[in-house]
Amino acid sequence: MKVKTILVSQPEPKMENSPYSRLIEKEKVKVDFRPFIHVEGVDAKNVRQQKIDLSHYTAIILTSRNAVDHFFRISEEMRFKVPDTMKYFCQSEAVAYYLQKYVVYRKRKIYVGKRNFEDLQPLFKKYKD
């Protein structure tokens, strides 16, 4: 049985040279893009209502670029200056490189996993405090 259509659970890529366009041309299949997950950030008011004080935390786990954007947006809305001693545990190297948009990569403490959350567990054990 030949594959005729493929469902991809993410938004359609904006670039013309994406691997999906090459797949469409080479294999003559139809590719449908449907984003299944939609992430919306909360505002600072909701964070305050949950009694979350960002100054009590010394480390943060960032799982995606979206998480990086939302964390720094929330901290800006709450007028919280992120301290230089904050530690960042990033799920992948792509997230760590994206973090450069907000912090200087060398000065801060950034720890990177290899794509899975389980890869971060040895780092958690090493930096218990």
The number of residues in the chain equals: 129
User: What pTM did the predictor assign?
Assistant: 0.69
Residue type, 71: F
101 shares its domain with 49 = yes
Range of the domain at 87: 44-126
Q: Would you say the C-alpha torsion 80, 86, 91, 94 has a positive or negative sign? A: positive
Compute the distance between CA of residue 76 and CA of residue 82 in angstroms, rounded to an integer. Answer: 9
Compute the distance between CA of residue 94 and CA of residue 101 in angstroms, rounded to an integer. Answer: 12
pLDDT digits (tens, 9 = 90+) for 39-85: 788 889 999 999 989 999 988 988 889 999 999 999 999 999 998 88
105 shares its domain with 91 = yes
Average pLDDT, the chain: 85
- The domain tally of the chain equals 2
Beta bridge pairs of residue 60: 88
CB 27 within 8 A of CB 60: no
